[in-house]
Amino acid sequence: MKPFNELRIAICNDHAGYDLKRTVLDHLKAIQVGTVEDFGSYTSESCDYPDFAHPLALAVEKGEFDFGITICGSGNGISMTANKHKGIRSALCWENEIASLARRHNNANVISLPARFITENEAKGMIDIFLSTDFEGGRHQRRVDKIPY
């Protein structure tokens, strides 16, 4: 796993995820992540999550970023949108163990956070775990290889 200062992270949100994204951006700065690009939304005004999730997913899929972080009210819609991209494995996470398993067993490259259902500290903890956990490979690789259809 790369050290935090070498990671390239893409982040996006909808209106419901705007406040949590601001906290997450501060956290990424505090843990000294190398590169962070904000794909929007840039306000808490009502907006459509696909407008931000698709550009983020495309950039992660192309290898421009190591990981993506998506945030919306439930985490579902924005994750579903990202997962429409063949090279994306977006995992909706609401607790530390889910974030760990998403990396260890599923080789997730995008973490989706449900802003209306987690605290700021829970989000920071899951991000730390997600960004520092390696994929185990082995039997899990066979399963991950079967995901694209």
- Our answer to whether residue 72 is catalytic in this structure is yes
The catalytic residue among 15, 27, 54, 105 is 105
The catalytic residue among 12, 47, 72, 93 is 72
In the chain, which stretches have pLDDT less than 50? none
Residue 99: the pLDDT is 98
CATH fold of the domain at 4-145: Ribose 5-phosphate Isomerase B; Chain: A, (3.40.1400)
Q: How far is CA 95 from CA 13, 24, 25, 100, in A?
A: 19, 16, 19, 9
CB neighbour list of residue 137: distance below 8 Å, 6 or more residues apart: none
Task: Compute the mean pLDDT over every residue in the chain, rounded to the nearest whole number.
Answer: 97
Domain ranges of the chain: 4-145
- Our answer to whether residue 27 is catalytic in this structure is no
